[in-house]
Amino acid sequence: MKKGLTILVSFTIFGFTSCNDDNKADGYGNFEATEVIISSEAQGKIKYFKAKEGEQIEPGIHVALIDTTQLHLEIQQLQASKQTVASKSQSVFSQIDVLNEKLKIAEREEKRVKNLFGENAATQRQVDQAEGEVQVIREEIKNVRTKNSPIVNEMQLIDAQIAKFNDLIEKSIIENPIKGTVLATYAETGEITAFGRPLYKIADLDVLTLRVYISEVQLSDIELGQEVRVKIDSKKEQMKSYPGHISWISSSAEFTPKTIQTREERANLVYAVDIEVENDGSLKIGMPAEMWLSTTE
């Protein structure tokens, strides 16, 4: 009687194990998201900082402002310098205007003398003198314009410096680049920040990526774009299921991550697979999940 009971228990355990093998998921992993760290592109005191952890913000929203007082003062100084340089250039242009008027008179005189020469009423010497006067004035205009070239270059340099400071002012306004949820903040209003210092971290949590690892024998069963089922633990349900599709398959094998496999399975080489899953608010970064290749419940 005792022996028969032992046999019965053994068959029961074997049957339970076989059932579990049949219901084993095709892959295990954790949810990930593309996290973007927004850093400062200017230095100075933070006038305001609006990002809050857990808050969802839209792209284009002004999240922070870094003090731009010194930049505006630099621009005012450069604009004053530009006006001084422009006054020098104006003096040069005034000389050119006077010479242009003299050139017009000399050209009219040259034309009159040549007409007289054609009627034998003027000599060749008079023609040569008229032509020489025109040429002299043209050379004077050319010399004056040469004097203006350094002034023009100096004004262009000032304009470039003004453009540089205007660019720094624009970069002092921190604009959120993507729609997403603020995961962490690294600054506060009133703090002094520096170029390249992280301000906050954001990620789009509407669609999460589940990275799982599969064996070589499973590669023939999957392809890009394939629909799969993703399941997570739930209090209300034994397993909560989501539709997903394969967005990436690794082209090279790697060792299985220690966090999700047994000691024996860690010795095997596996392939990483990414699955995109639409988030209903229940999925979180780092949450474990299972991949089932069969899309039927």
When pLDDT is cut at 50, 70 and 90, the band that residue 259 belongs to is: low
When pLDDT is cut at 50, 70 and 90, the band that residue 17 belongs to is: very low
* 53 and 183 Cβ atoms separated by less than 8 Å: yes
Whether 248 is in a domain gets the answer yes
The per-residue pLDDT for range 228-250, each reduced to its tens digit, is 999 998 776 678 899 999 999 98
Query: What is the torsion angle, in degrees rounded to the nearest 10, for the CA atoms of residue 92, residue 94, residue 96 and residue 101?
Result: -170
Same domain, 73 and 163: yes
> What's the CA gap between 164 and 209, in Å, rounded?
40
Question: What are the distances in angstroms from CA 44 to CA 72, 89, 105, 263, 289?
Answer: 13, 37, 61, 52, 44
Highest mean pLDDT among 23-27, 97-101, 226-230: 226-230
For residue 221, the enclosing domain spans 206-292
End-to-end Cα, the chain, rounded Å = 43
When pLDDT is cut at 50, 70 and 90, the band that residue 75 belongs to is: very high
Last residue of one domain, picked from the residues 188, 203, 218 = 203
Q: Which is nearest to 211 in space by CA: 261, 247, 255?
A: 247
Highest mean pLDDT among 110-119, 132-141, 221-230: 221-230
Whether 19 is in a domain gets the answer no
Same domain, 164 and 222: no
When pLDDT is cut at 50, 70 and 90, the band that residue 140 belongs to is: confident
If you average pLDDT over residues 155-171, what whole number do you get?
A: 94
pLDDT score of 183 more than 70: yes
> What's the CA gap between 197 and 186, in Å, rounded?
9
The per-residue pLDDT for range 30-61, each reduced to its tens digit, is 999 999 999 999 999 999 999 999 999 999 99
- At 226, which CATH number? 2.40.30.170
How many structural domains comprise the chain? 3
pLDDT score of 14 more than 70: no
- At 191, which CATH number? 2.40.50.100
**Long-range contacts, 218-221 (Cβ 8 Å, 24+):** 218/26, 218/27, 219/249, 219/271, 221/26, 221/293
When pLDDT is cut at 50, 70 and 90, the band that residue 256 belongs to is: low
> What's the CA gap between 36 and 275, in Å, rounded?
20
Whether 24 is in a domain gets the answer no
Same domain, 184 and 165: no
pLDDT score of 273 more than 80: yes
Same domain, 182 and 62: yes
pLDDT score of 175 more than 90: yes
* 266 and 255 Cβ atoms separated by less than 8 Å: yes
Whether 13 is in a domain gets the answer no
Question: What are the distances in angstroms from CA 5 to CA 1, 2, 16, 17?
Answer: 7, 5, 17, 19
pLDDT score of 89 more than 50: yes
pLDDT score of 23 more than 80: no
pLDDT score of 192 more than 50: yes
Same domain, 58 and 114: no
pTM, entire model:
0.67
Whether 223 is in a domain gets the answer yes
pLDDT score of 8 more than 70: no
If you average pLDDT over residues 189-212, what whole number do you get?
A: 95
Same domain, 54 and 193: yes
Same domain, 110 and 190: no
If you average pLDDT over residues 128-147, what whole number do you get?
A: 84
Question: What are the distances in angstroms from CA 265 to CA 25, 35, 268?
Answer: 15, 30, 5
> What's the CA gap between 273 and 201, in Å, rounded?
25
> What's the CA gap between 247 and 225, in Å, rounded?
6
Give the lowest-confidence range in 161-170, 204-213, 251-260.
251-260
- pLDDT value of position 6: 36
